[in-house]
Structure 1
């Protein structure tokens, strides 16, 4: 037992040294972890700040794009409204043209009734042709007005689309 009494102080000293070394190692690990945690937290904060700044910039761009598109749509709607108003005006003036064609056809029909018998057949044929031509003229004019209105509106919509695309690509 005496050998154990002699070795016990060395064992205790060795345990103390091992405990001190383990404590120093553990302290170093915790300090290193704390340093890394602080660096990661700082990096995460920088990333969050950069993300917020980028989102603000992108939202500003998006709002500018949206305002440009809204302006293009408003301008396009003005053009479409003007084309519609022009079509209404053209229809109103076409009514006069159709009335003139009907008046000519009616005059020919009236002259047919008051003519002599030699020219009655020729007059009757001319009146029928005049009525038919007046009808064709009215239909052609109506269709041309419809096509012009559609073409004007399509052009206005195309210009609006081009303007909106141009606003997005600037």
Structure 2
């Protein structure tokens, strides 16, 4: 009887753990390409699960948390201009009572950098928020390192 109770308790624990998985609807990947002797473009790609969307860098105050890039200062490179993004979907969201810009399926952000060294690693972090038609997840911050050769 003791074995049966222990097995039942273990299966309930394992079953509840499976249902309490934290949703991770965005997968990130990174690449860099030299565009000249002293410059490169860093590509930061977000693959977004079906039914989810991630917000643009260009969301007005009062709305969801916009995507924000922060690049670590380095003597090996300097950031040139703003992080570029493709054209976003713009739609009125009743939750925020405003038009918001967002991406579905995937988005590739691009950042130009001036190189002070032939090979380096561009480091930074991206803060973002995702929603679907039922819920929004809390904003998340991901660190990245992109080799430039």
Answer whether TM exceeds 0.5 for this pair: no
What TM-score comes out, normalization by structure 1 length?
Answer: 0.22
What TM-score comes out, normalization by structure 2 length?
Answer: 0.25
Larger radius of gyration: 1
The structure where strand makes up a greater share of residues is 2
